[in-house]
A and B are shown apart, each in its own frame.
Chain A
Amino acid sequence: MRLLVVVFLGAALAASANAQTGKTAGDATKRVSLANETVGREPKVFAPMVGSWVITKDAGQNVLFIDGRVWKRGQPAGGLADKARELYGARNEEFIESIKAFAYYPIAVYKGVDNFENGEISVRFQMVGGTLDRCAGILFDVKPNGDYLTVRYNGTEDNVVLWTFNNGVRKFVNRAATTVPLELGTWHTLKISVHGTQLKSWLDDQPMHDYTLPHPVSGKIGVWSKTDSMIEFADFTVTPASK
């Protein structure tokens, strides 16, 4: 009995210490395995919040697939951006930003980390298709109200960009200076590191961002995409760290 109390107190103290240092319990790297997932079904280790996320096979391995074709079939009437320009002229960008709130950004939240504050997140991705977008992103700082940050690569623009989403509105934050054309059907790695307010990102080990965020990061993590993108994700890896 005494032993149990000691163990309990030890765990509580460790949790308290971690809370003070911002250290997430269990500093070990977590590489998310999809081996036990069922092909053709939604993933169990990720919670698909928006979009049609299914497990599929690539070269014999289970991968997470966002299928943007589903979005296209259910696409509501468009043309709002053009109408905004007609209505608001020079101020249309502001309106279009609001309109973008209705655009479609598939996200799947990883269930294995409750609160990511510092450390590294990486994911391998392969662009398969998408007429409008071919976006693969890392989702982080996901708040209960749905606000979040994402660093994404877009194969229609060949760039890596940091975006914020607040109250459903997407806002551009920072674009990496380098553009990198990637071939469809080839695997690449997107990685971010967060230490306090310092955010860095890499595409295939090539530095992309070195940016100071206005606030420290704290929230859930996952993968992100956009509109009709068809992307395969694999080897989602998170390494929590102290600051």
Chain B
Amino acid sequence: MMRTAHFAACAALIAIPAVAIAQAQKTTRNPTPRAKLAPACTWKPSDAWVKRQAEFFAEAKHDWTNDSLRTALLAAAGLTAPLKAPVQLGVHVEGADAAPPASAAAMIDALNKLAATRGSTWPTRSVVGAAGTHAVFVLASLDTGLGRAALHRMMEAGPAESPAADVATLEDRLRLAWGRKQIYGTQFRRGADGKIELAPMEDSAHADLRREDAGLPPFKFGLCLATRGGS
């Protein structure tokens, strides 16, 4: 059940081959891919970006303060905690989003109001746990207005409180929405010929440096998942 729920959320945000998602959900217990994937599409638990996400999303200490908000966020985002790394693969294909849960709209509204309230406590990791912060990312990805406010709050909170890979993916998504180019290479779209292609991007020469900084997989991994994968 847990895997199914998380699968749905991932599939909604990152339209990647199911087999790669399945591999992601197997986590560290069995890193061997279950189906044939192009080598660039695979990851290992020992990969730095996977370890970094695993570190961030480890919730054994239960050290957050607002359980009810966390529960509501997770429900609205269609997530079930705990989330197993890698949580953010940094691959999103425009138009491939599944319909969000019915409760998402009300939570987006509530988060927008929270963001507009000066001095309000933003749901960061110490408030709603790592899974809760990912839920905020999921919801912020659905609403450009909330996305802007959330991105600002997540940046302000810093990498210990906001998942850097989510911050990077959200920034790419918003930049494209604002008519700018993405900078991490997480956003893809279908070209006129129906093939998936990278959305416009700045400075691809330093992309992997930025992606490493954000705890995202190497660019060729994302490109592989988006364009070839195991299909």
- Give residues in A with beta carbon < 8 Å to B: 68-69, 72, 75-79, 81-83, 85-86, 89-90, 92, 128-133, 156, 181, 183-186, 227-228, 230
Contact = CB atoms under 8 A, between A and B. Distances in A.
Contacts, number: 92
Contact of B203 (A77, A85, A131, A186): A186
A76 B203 contact: no
A77 B126 CA distance: 10
Interface string B29-71: 0000000000000000000000000000000000000000000
Interface string B144-181: 00000000000111111100100110010000000011
B58 to A, nearest CB: 14
Is the contact region of chain A dominated by helix, strand, or loop, or is it mixed? Answer: loop
B160 A79 contact: yes
Contacts of B192: none
Interface residues of B, number: 33
B183 to A, nearest CB: 5
Contacts of B118: 90
B214 interface: yes
B147 to A, nearest CB: 14
A82 B157 contact: yes
Given A69-B212, A128-B210, A131-B213, A79 B157 contact: yes
A76 B212 contact: no
Interface in B119-137: 119-122, 124-127
Given A128-B209, A131-B164, A78 B203 contact: no
Nearest to B209: A129
B209 A230 contact: yes
Given A75-B158, A130-B213, A184 B183 contact: yes
Contacts of B210: 128-131, 184, 230
Given A69-B213, A78-B158, A128-B206, 7 more contacts: A72-B159, A81-B156, A82-B126, A92-B119, A129-B183, A181-B180, A185-B202
